[in-house]
Amino acid sequence: MPLTARGEAIFERLPGAAPRESTGAIGCQIVRHEELCIGCGRCASACPSGATLKGDMFDPMQLYSAPPDSRRGAIGTALRAIARHQPSGSIAVPERVSAFRTIVFDASRCIGCGACARACPTGAAEALPVPAEEIGAGVSG
Amino acid sequence: MRCGVFLCECGGNISGVLDLDSLADSARTHDGVVSISRNQFMCGTEGRRMIEQAVEERGLDRIVIGACSRRFQGPTFERIARELRLGENAVAFGNLREGCSFIHRDEPAKAQLKAEKIVSAAVARARFQSDLPRGRTFLHRSALVVGGGIAGITAAEELSGAGIDVHLVEREQSLGGYMARLSKTFPTEDCAMCSLAPQLTGAALDPRIHIRTLTDVTEISGPPGEFRVKLRQRPRFVSEACVGCDDCTAACPVSVSSEFELGVTKRKAISRPFANAVPSLYAIDKRGPAPCKSACPAGTSAQGYVALVAEGRFDEAYRVASGPNPFPSVCGRICTHPCERACARGEVDEPVAIAALKRFVADHVGPETVIEKVPVIHSEKVAIIGAGPAGLTCARDLAKLGYRTTVFEALPVAGGMLKTGIPDYRLPKDVLEREIDQITALGVELKLGQRAGKDFTVDGLLENGYGAAFLAVGLQKSSEVEITGAELEGTERAVEFLRRLNLGKSVSVGDRVVVIGGGDVALDAARSAIRLQQTSGREPNVTLVYRRTRAEMPALGEEDEQAIEEGLKVEFLVAPLEIVGKKGRVSALKLQRCKLGEPDSSGRRRPVPIEGDVTEIEADTVVLAIGQDIVCDFLEGCEDVSVEKGQIRIDRDTLMTGKSGVFAGGDAAATGGWTAIEAIAAGTRAAHSIHNYLRGEKLFEVWPAKAAEARPSAEELARREVGQRIPAVLLDRSDRCASWAEVVGGYSEEEAIAEASRCLACAVCSECEACVRACPAGAIELDQQEETEELAVGAIIVATGHKEFDARRKIPLGFGRFSNVVTQSQLARLLAPSGPTAGELERPSDGAVPKKIFMLQCVGSRDCTSSGNEHCSAICCLFATLHASLIKQHYPDVDITIGYTDLRAPGKSHEEYYRLVQERGVRYVRGRVGEVMEEADKSLRVRFEDTVTKRKNEELFDLVVLSAGLEASAGTTEIAHVAGLQQGSAGFIKEYHPKLKPVDTQRAGIFVAGTAQGPKNIPDTIAQAKAAAARVVSMLSAGFVLTPAQVASSNLEQCIGCGICESVCPQGAVKLSGGDNPHSVVDANSCRGCGICAAECPSGAMTLGGYSDEEILAEVMV
Amino acid sequence: MTSTAAENTRAPETEDGAERKIVAFFCRECAYAAADATGNARVSLPTTIRSVLVPCTGRVSPLHLLKALADGADGVYVAGCLEGQCHYREGNLHALDRIEFSRALLESVGVEPERVQMFTMSAADSPKFVAAARKMHETISALPPLKRK
Interface test with C, best of A82, A88, A98, A101 (most C CBs within 10 A): A82
Q: What is the average per-residue pLDDT within B1010-1033?
A: 97
Distance CA B529, CA B524 (A): 8
**Residues 6 or more apart whose Cβ sits within 8 Å of residue B676:** B327, B330, B331, B334, B335, B336, B389, B417, B418
Distance CA B487, CA B625 (A): 15
Q: What CATH number is attached to the domain comprising B339?
A: 1.10.1060
For residue B590, the number of C-alpha atoms closer than 13 Å in the C-beta half-sphere is 12
Q: How many CB atoms lie within 10 A of CB B640?
A: 11
- Per-residue b/e over B1034-1067, b at no fewer than 16 CB within 10 Å? ebbeeeebebbbbbbbbeeeebbbbbbbbebbbb
pLDDT band at A141 (very low <50, low <70, confident <90, very high): very low
B898, part of any domain:
yes
Question: Rounded to the nearest 5 degrees, what angle is found at the Cα of B753, between the Cα atoms of B752 and B757?
Answer: 115
Whether the ipTM is more than 0.90: the answer is: yes
**Domain shared by B727 and B641, yes or no:** no
Write down which residue in B1016, B1042, B1068 finishes a domain. B1042
pLDDT of residue C102: 98
**Domain shared by B733 and B684, yes or no:** no
CB contact under 8 A, C91 and B104: no
Q: Are B398 and B382 in contact (CB under 8 A)?
A: yes
Q: What is the DSSP letter of B489?
A: B
pLDDT band at A138 (very low <50, low <70, confident <90, very high): very low
For the cut 60, the answer to whether the pLDDT of residue A101 exceeds it is yes
pLDDT in tens, B491-520: 999 999 999 999 988 888 999 999 998 888
pLDDT of residue B670: 86
Distance CA B213, CA B169 (A): 6
Lowest mean pLDDT among B697-701, B720-724, B868-872: B697-701
Interface test with A, best of C88, C93, C99, C101 (most A CBs within 10 A): C101
CB contact under 8 A, C69 and A78: yes
pLDDT band at C2 (very low <50, low <70, confident <90, very high): very low
Measured in whole angstroms, the distance separating CA B55 from the mean position of its chain's CA atoms is 65
Chain A CB contacts of B1097 below 8 Å: 71, 99
pLDDT of residue B520: 87
Q: What is the DSSP letter of C53?
A: E
pLDDT in tens, B265-300: 999 999 999 988 999 999 999 998 999 999 999 999
Q: What phi and psi, each to the nearest 5 degrees, are found at residue B547?
A: -70, -30
For the cut 50, the answer to whether the pLDDT of residue B140 exceeds it is yes
B796 beta partners: B144, B1006
For the cut 90, the answer to whether the pLDDT of residue C93 exceeds it is yes
Q: Which of B496, B497, B500 is nearest to B513 (CA)?
A: B497
Chain C CB contacts of A92 below 8 Å: 104
pLDDT of residue A48: 86
Lowest mean pLDDT among B553-562, B918-927, C69-78: B553-562
Residue A87 has its nearest CB partner, among C93, C94, C108, at: C108
Lowest mean pLDDT among B303-317, B544-558, C75-89: B544-558
pLDDT in tens, B623-633: 999 889 999 99
Q: What is the per-residue DSSP string for B1053-1092?
A: TT-----HHHHH-TTS-EEEESTTS-EEEE-TTT-----H
Lowest mean pLDDT among B189-193, B482-486, C9-13: C9-13
Q: What phi and psi, each to the nearest 5 degrees, are found at residue B760?
A: -90, 0
**Residues 6 or more apart whose Cβ sits within 8 Å of residue B535:** B738, B739
Helix, strand, coil content of chain A in percent (nearest 5): 35, 15, 50
Domains and CATH numbers, chain A: 5-134 (3.30.70)
pLDDT of residue B1039: 83
Chain C nearest CA to B1055, separation (Å): 18
B278, part of any domain:
no
**Domain shared by B1019 and B1052, yes or no:** no
Chain B CB contacts of A96 below 8 Å: 1064
Write down the mean pLDDT value for chain B.
Answer: 92
pLDDT band at B311 (very low <50, low <70, confident <90, very high): very high
Chain A CB contacts of C146 below 8 Å: 82
Q: Are strands B647-648 and B643-644 parallel, antiparallel or unpaired?
A: antiparallel
For the cut 60, the answer to whether the pLDDT of residue C6 exceeds it is no
B779, part of any domain:
no
Residues of A with CB under 8 A from a CB of C: 58, 60, 63, 71, 74-75, 77-89, 91-97, 100
**CB-based contact, B1095 to chain C, within 8 Å:** yes
**Domain shared by B498 and B612, yes or no:** yes
B1029, part of any domain:
yes
CB contact under 8 A, C109 and A91: no
pLDDT in tens, B104-132: 999 999 999 999 999 999 999 999 999 89
Q: What is the average per-residue pLDDT within B420-443?
A: 94
**CB-based contact, B1110 to chain C, within 8 Å:** no
pLDDT band at B483 (very low <50, low <70, confident <90, very high): confident
Q: What percent of chain B shows pLDDT beyond 70?
A: 99
pLDDT of residue A2: 55
**Domain shared by B25 and B111, yes or no:** yes
pLDDT band at B1081 (very low <50, low <70, confident <90, very high): very high
**Domain shared by B184 and B210, yes or no:** yes
pLDDT in tens, B208-230: 999 999 999 999 988 888 899 99
Write down which residue in B572, B594, B622 finishes a domain. B622
B438 lies in which domain range? 381-476+630-694
For the cut 50, the answer to whether the pLDDT of residue C7 exceeds it is no
Residue C93 has its nearest CB partner, among A60, A75, A96, at: A96
Number of helices followed by number of strands (H, E) in chain C = 5, 4
CB contact under 8 A, C32 and B69: yes
**Domain shared by B587 and B690, yes or no:** no
pLDDT band at A24 (very low <50, low <70, confident <90, very high): very low
**Domain shared by B977 and B919, yes or no:** no
B381 beta partners: B404, B466
CB contact under 8 A, C70 and A92: no
**Domain shared by B682 and B713, yes or no:** no
pLDDT of residue C13: 58
Q: Cis ω on the peptide bond leading into residue C62 (within 30° of 0)?
A: no
For the cut 80, the answer to whether the pLDDT of residue B721 exceeds it is yes
**Which run of H or of E encompasses C101?**
helix C91-108
Lowest mean pLDDT among B76-90, B973-987, C2-16: C2-16
Question: Rounded to the nearest 5 degrees, what angle is found at the Cα of B769, between the Cα atoms of B767 and B775?
Answer: 140
**Domain shared by B92 and B201, yes or no:** no
Chain C CB contacts of A79 below 8 Å: 66, 70, 105, 109
Higher pLDDT, B721 or B1097: B1097
**CB-based contact, C80 to chain B, within 8 Å:** no
- Where in chain C are the domains? 2-6+20-142
B95 to chain C: nearest residue by CA? C51
Distance CA B635, CA B621 (A): 34
Q: What is the average per-residue pLDDT within B898-906?
A: 94
pLDDT of residue A139: 40
Interface test with B, best of C10, C28, C47, C134 (most B CBs within 10 A): C47
C33 to chain B: nearest residue by CA? B71
Give the total number of structural domains in chain B. 7
The set of chains that have 3 or more CB pairs under 8 A with A is B, C
pLDDT of residue B993: 79
CB contact under 8 A, B1099 and A71: yes
Distance CA B835, CA B931 (A): 30
pLDDT of residue A130: 65
**Domain shared by B826 and B897, yes or no:** yes
Q: What percent of chain A shows pLDDT beyond 70?
A: 72
pLDDT of residue B997: 87
Interface test with B, best of C28, C32, C88 (most B CBs within 10 A): C88
For the cut 80, the answer to whether the pLDDT of residue B706 exceeds it is no
- Alpha-helical (H) ranges within B129-191 are 150-161
pLDDT of residue B382: 96
Q: What CATH number is attached to the domain comprising B155?
A: 3.50.50.60
Which of the following CATH numbers is that of domain C2-6+20-142: 3.30.70, 3.40.50, 2.60.40, 2.40.50? Answer: 3.40.50
**CB-based contact, B1109 to chain C, within 8 Å:** yes
CB contact under 8 A, B1056 and A39: no
Q: Are B650 and B663 in contact (CB under 8 A)?
A: yes
pLDDT band at B556 (very low <50, low <70, confident <90, very high): low
For the cut 50, the answer to whether the pLDDT of residue C143 exceeds it is yes
For the cut 90, the answer to whether the pLDDT of residue A22 exceeds it is no
B908, part of any domain:
yes
Q: Which of B434, C104, B197 is nearest to A79 (CA)?
A: C104
Chain B nearest CA to C110, separation (Å): 23
For the cut 80, the answer to whether the pLDDT of residue B826 exceeds it is yes
B777, part of any domain:
no
Q: Which of residues 735-754 of B touch C (CB under 8 A)?
A: none
Write down the mean pLDDT value for chain A.
Answer: 81
